C-alpha cells in the first residue's frame, strides 16, 4: 500500500473507532434508561441520546471520513484500490455501505422522522391501551408515507421494501423473503394442523409463585454453564428483556421476573445470552472497524434463537438442567417427570400475541407482518385498511381472529417506531440458526450426549470459530456457507421442526 493509502486507511480506522466509542456510550445510556434511571430523568435522557446520535452521524458522514474513504474505495462503484488485504477490502465495502446509507437520509428527514415517531409512540401506547385503531391511524399514515420516502432516498433495485429490509439485513431482497416465507408456510401449516389434533397439553404446573432470588440463582447457573463471562457482563431486571453491548468486554443482558410464569425468565435469559455471547466473541482487535461488528440483525437473532430454542429447547439440555431446576425450587416441581415438563414447554397452540407465541406458530406471525408491510410500502395496502387485512390474514394463517386491535394490529411497537423491514429478521434468525446447527451437529455428532451432562462450552467454541470472530468479514450467505459447507436454505429449519414436533410425546 502506498503511503497515502496507508494514511487514509489509518484515518478511516481512527474516525470509525471514535464513532464506535460514542455508539457504545449510547448503548449505555439506553441500558441505564431501561434499568436504573430515575423516571424523572426521561426528558433529559432523550436529549442526551439525541445529542449522541447527532455526533455519531456527523462523524460517520463527515468530510474527513468520506475523503479518506474515497482514497481507497470508489463511493459510487464500490471499486477498491489495489494492494489491499482481503480483510481491508471487506472492511472498506462495509464502511462504504454504512456511509452511503447514513448519507442517503438528509438531516432534516431524520429529524422529522424522529419527531413523528416520538409522537406516534405516545399515541400508539394510548391506542393499544384502549384498543382504538382510529387513534393511531393518522400516525400510521404519516409513518408509512415517511417509510416510503425513506425507501426512495435509500434507493433499491426492484422493490421499495428491499431498501428497508437492507437496513437490518444487508443484501436480502423482498423476493427472497417471499420465497423463504412461502416455503416456510407450506411446511408449517400441515405440522401445526397435525399437532392441533392431539390432546391438549397441560402447562399449569409452569405457573405459580417462583421466588425471585431462586429465579435469578437459576439464571446464573445457566449463564455460568453456557460460558457467559461474569467479569464482562451483567444480569439486571427490566420491563422487557434486552441485551446491550458497548464492547466485547462489556456485554450486558437483562431479564424479567414474571409474577407467575416460571419459563418467562429462563427463556429470556437463554435468548439474551445468545446475543451477548456474539458481542463478547467479536474480535477485540477489530473493535471500531466493521470486522468487529455483528454481521446483521438476522445473524444476531440466529444467535439468540440458537441458545433459546436449539440448546435451551433441546431434550438433553433439560436432562441436565431439569433436576437442577427441581432442586432450586424444592417442593414445587418434585414429582414432575422430565417428559411432562419437556412437553409443556413445547406446547403448540395458535394465539394472538407474537411475543407469546410458540416456536411453530411464531413464524406465521412474522409472515403476516411481512405481507402487510410489503403492501403498505408498495402502496397496494392503505394504512386505514390494516385492521381488516390483519384479521383476515390471522384467520388464513392461524385460523383465529382477534377480538380487539390491542391483541391484533396494535400489539407491536415496531410500526410506531417507524421500523419497517425489521420483522423478517426474527424468522431469518430461526432459519440461519437451523442452517448453522446442521453444520454444528455434523461436526459434533455427540452433541446430545455432551449437553446431557451439562457440557456447553464446546457449543460456544463452535460458534466462536464459525460466527463470532468473523464480525462483518463475510456477507451473510457466505458466512453461512463457510460455517457449514452448505449453501443456505430453509430446509434445515423445517427438518428440525418436523423432526422435533413429530416426535414430541404428547403427555
Q: Which stretch binds a copy of itself (CB under 8 A): 37-45, 119-127, 183-191, 327-335?
A: 37-45
Q: Does 36 bind a copy of itself (CB under 8 A)?
A: yes
CA pair distance 221, 202, nearest whole angstrom:
27
Q: Does 237 bind a copy of itself (CB under 8 A)?
A: no
- Binding to a copy of itself (CB under 8 A): which residues in 308-347? none
Beta pairing, strands 235-237 & 250-255: parallel
Task: Specify the residue, 235 or 406, whose C-beta has the smaller distance to a copy of itself.
Answer: 235
SS3 424: helix
- Binding to a copy of itself (CB under 8 A): which residues in 248-267? 249-250, 252
Q: Which stretch binds a copy of itself (CB under 8 A): 18-26, 187-195, 201-209, 308-316?
A: 18-26
Q: Taking the CA atoms of the chain, what radius of gyration do you get in angstroms?
A: 23
Task: Specify the residue, 32 or 448, whose C-beta has the smaller distance to a copy of itself.
Answer: 32
User: Which position among 247, 405, 470, 473 is part of the footprint of a copy of itself (CB under 8 A)?
Assistant: 247
**Backbone angles phi and psi of 247, in degrees to 5:** 180, 155
User: Which position among 8, 15, 22, 184 is part of the footprint of a copy of itself (CB under 8 A)?
Assistant: 22
Q: Cell numbers at residue 153, please?
A: 432516498
Give the alpha-carbon dihedral of 194, 196, 200, 204, to 10 degrees. Answer: 110
Q: Does 28 bind a copy of itself (CB under 8 A)?
A: yes
Task: Specify the residue, 186 or 230, whose C-beta has the smaller distance to a copy of itself.
Answer: 230
- Binding to a copy of itself (CB under 8 A): which residues in 54-93? 55
Selection from 6, 102, 27, 94 nearest residue 60 by Cα: 102
CA pair distance 129, 119, nearest whole angstrom:
16
Q: Which of 59, 94, 169, 272 is catalytic?
A: 272
Task: Specify the residue, 234 or 320, whose C-beta has the smaller distance to a copy of itself.
Answer: 234
Q: Does 230 bind a copy of itself (CB under 8 A)?
A: yes
Rounded to whole angstroms, the maximal C-alpha distance in the chain is 73
Selection from 354, 247, 264 nearest residue 308 by Cα: 264
Q: Cell numbers at residue 122, please?
A: 405516545
Beta pairing, strands 235-237 & 243-247: unpaired
User: Which position among 6, 7, 44, 129 is part of the footprint of a copy of itself (CB under 8 A)?
Assistant: 44
Q: Residue 265 CB, nearest distance to a copy of itself (Å)?
A: 20
Q: Which stretch binds a copy of itself (CB under 8 A): 3-11, 225-233, 421-429, 438-446?
A: 225-233
- Binding to a copy of itself (CB under 8 A): which residues in 278-297? 287
Spatial CB neighbours of 254, under 8 Å, sequence gap ≥ 6: 31, 34, 35, 235, 236, 237, 238, 241, 242, 243, 244, 272
Q: Residue 118 CB, nearest distance to a copy of itself (Å)?
A: 17
User: Which position among 160, 170, 187, 233 is part of the footprint of a copy of itself (CB under 8 A)?
Assistant: 233
Is the separation of the CB atoms in 421 and 178 below 8 Å?
A: no
Q: Does 52 bind a copy of itself (CB under 8 A)?
A: yes
Give the alpha-carbon dihedral of 446, 449, 454, 459, to 10 degrees. Answer: 20
User: Which position among 11, 14, 32, 489 is part of the footprint of a copy of itself (CB under 8 A)?
Assistant: 32
CA pair distance 6, 21, nearest whole angstrom:
22
User: Which position among 1, 13, 14, 29 is part of the footprint of a copy of itself (CB under 8 A)?
Assistant: 29
User: Which position among 4, 10, 51, 399 is part of the footprint of a copy of itself (CB under 8 A)?
Assistant: 51
- Long-range own/partner contacts, residues 36-43 (CB < 8 A, 24 or more apart): 36/236
Selection from 242, 225, 244, 241 nearest residue 233 by Cα: 244
User: Which position among 34, 171, 178, 229 is part of the footprint of a copy of itself (CB under 8 A)?
Assistant: 229
Q: Any catalytic annotation for residue 272?
A: yes
Q: Which stretch binds a copy of itself (CB under 8 A): 17-25, 66-74, 261-269, 319-327?
A: 17-25
CA pair distance 412, 243, nearest whole angstrom:
19
Q: Which stretch binds a copy of itself (CB under 8 A): 66-74, 227-235, 394-402, 423-431?
A: 227-235
Is the separation of the CB atoms in 256 and 264 below 8 Å?
A: yes
Is the separation of the CB atoms in 451 and 444 below 8 Å?
A: no
Q: Which stretch binds a copy of itself (CB under 8 A): 35-43, 263-271, 378-386, 432-440?
A: 35-43
Q: Does 34 bind a copy of itself (CB under 8 A)?
A: no
Angle formed at CA 161 by CA 413 and CA 423, multiple of 5 degrees: 35
Catalytic residues: 272
Residues that bind a copy of itself (CB under 8 A): 18, 21-22, 24-25, 28-29, 32, 36-41, 43-45, 47-48, 51-52, 55, 229-234, 236, 246-247, 249-250, 252, 287
Amino acid at each position: 500500500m502506498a503511503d497515502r493509502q496507508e494514511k487514509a486507511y489509518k484515518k478511516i480506522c481512527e474516525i470509525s473507532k471514535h464513532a464506535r466509542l460514542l455508539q457504545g456510550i449510547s448503548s449505555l445510556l439506553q441500558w441505564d434508561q431501561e434499568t436504573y434511571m430515575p423516571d424523572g430523568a426521561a426528558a433529559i435522557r432523550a436529549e442526551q441520546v439525541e445529542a449522541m446520535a447527532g455526533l455519531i452521524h456527523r462523524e460517520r458522514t463527515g468530510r474527513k471520513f468520506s475523503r479518506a474513504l474515497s482514497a481507497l474505495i470508489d463511493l459510487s462503484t464500490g471499486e477498491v484500490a489495489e494492494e489491499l488485504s482481503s480483510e481491508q477490502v471487506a472492511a472498506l465495502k462495509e464502511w462504504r455501505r454504512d456511509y452511503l446509507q447514513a448519507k442517503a437520509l438528509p438531516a432534516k428527514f431524520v429529524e422529522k422522522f424522529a419527531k413523528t415517531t416520538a409522537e406516534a409512540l405516545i399515541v400508539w401506547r394510548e391506542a393499544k391501551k384502549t384498543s382504538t385503531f382510529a387513534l393511531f391511524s393518522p400516525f400510521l399514515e404519516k409513518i408509512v408515507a415517511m417509510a416510503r420516502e425513506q425507501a426512495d432516498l435509500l434507493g433499491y433495485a426492484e422493490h421499495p421494501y428491499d431498501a428497508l429490509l437492507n437496513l437490518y439485513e444487508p443484501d436480502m431482497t423482498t423476493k427472497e423473503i417471499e420465497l423463504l416465507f412461502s416455503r416456510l408456510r407450506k411446511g408449517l401449516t400441515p405440522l401445526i394442523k397435525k399437532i392441533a389434533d392431539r390432546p391438549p397439553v397441560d402447562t399449569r404446573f409452569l405457573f405459580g409463585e417462583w421466588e425471585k432470588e431462586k429465579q435469578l440463582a437459576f439464571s446464573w447457573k445457566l449463564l455460568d454453564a453456557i460460558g457467559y463471562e461474569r467479569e464482562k457482563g451483567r444480569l439486571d431486571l427490566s420491563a422487557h428483556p434486552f441485551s446491550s453491548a458497548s464492547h466485547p468486554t462489556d456485554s450486558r443482558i437483562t431479564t424479567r421476573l414474571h409474577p407467575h410464569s416460571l419459563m418467562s425468565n429462563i427463556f429470556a435469559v437463554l435468548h439474551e445470552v445468545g446475543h451477548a455471547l456474539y458481542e463478547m466473541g467479536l474480535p477485540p482487535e477489530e473493535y471500531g472497524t466493521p470486522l468487529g461488528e455483528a454481521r446483521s440483525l438476522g445473524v444476531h437473532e440466529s444467535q439468540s434463537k440458537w441458545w433459546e430454542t436449539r440448546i435451551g429447547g433441546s431434550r438433553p439440555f433439560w436432562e441436565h438442567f431439569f433436576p437442577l431446576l427441581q432442586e432450586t425450587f424444592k417442593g414445587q416441581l418434585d414429582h414432575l417427570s422430565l417428559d411432562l415438563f419437556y412437553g409443556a414447554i413445547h406446547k403448540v397452540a395458535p394465539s394472538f400475541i407474537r411475543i407469546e407465541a410458540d416456536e411453530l406458530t411464531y413464524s406465521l406471525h412474522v409472515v403476516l407482518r411481512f405481507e402487510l408491510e410489503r403492501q403498505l410500502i408498495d402502496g397496494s395496502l392503505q394504512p386505514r385498511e390494516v385492521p381488516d387485512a390483519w384479521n383476515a390474514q390471522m384467520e388464513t394463517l392461524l385460523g383465529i381472529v382477534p377480538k380487539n386491535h390491542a391483541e391484533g394490529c396494535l400489539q407491536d411497537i415496531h410500526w410506531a417506531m417507524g421500523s419497517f423491514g425489521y420483522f423478517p429478521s426474527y424468522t431469518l434468525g430461526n432459519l440461519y440458526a437451523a442452517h448453522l446447527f446442521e453444520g454444528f451437529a455434523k461436526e459434533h455428532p455427540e452433541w446430545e450426549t455432551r449437553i446431557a451432562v451439562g457440557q456447553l462450552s464446546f457449543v460456544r467454541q463452535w460458534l466462536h470459530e464459525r460466527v463470532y470472530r468473523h464480525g462483518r468479514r463475510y456477507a451473510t450467505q457466505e458466512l453461512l456457507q463457510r460455517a457449514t459447507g452448505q449453501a443456505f436454505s430453509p430446509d434445515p429449519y423445517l427438518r428440525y421442526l418436523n423432526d422435533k414436533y413429530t416426535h414430541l410425546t404428547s403427555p
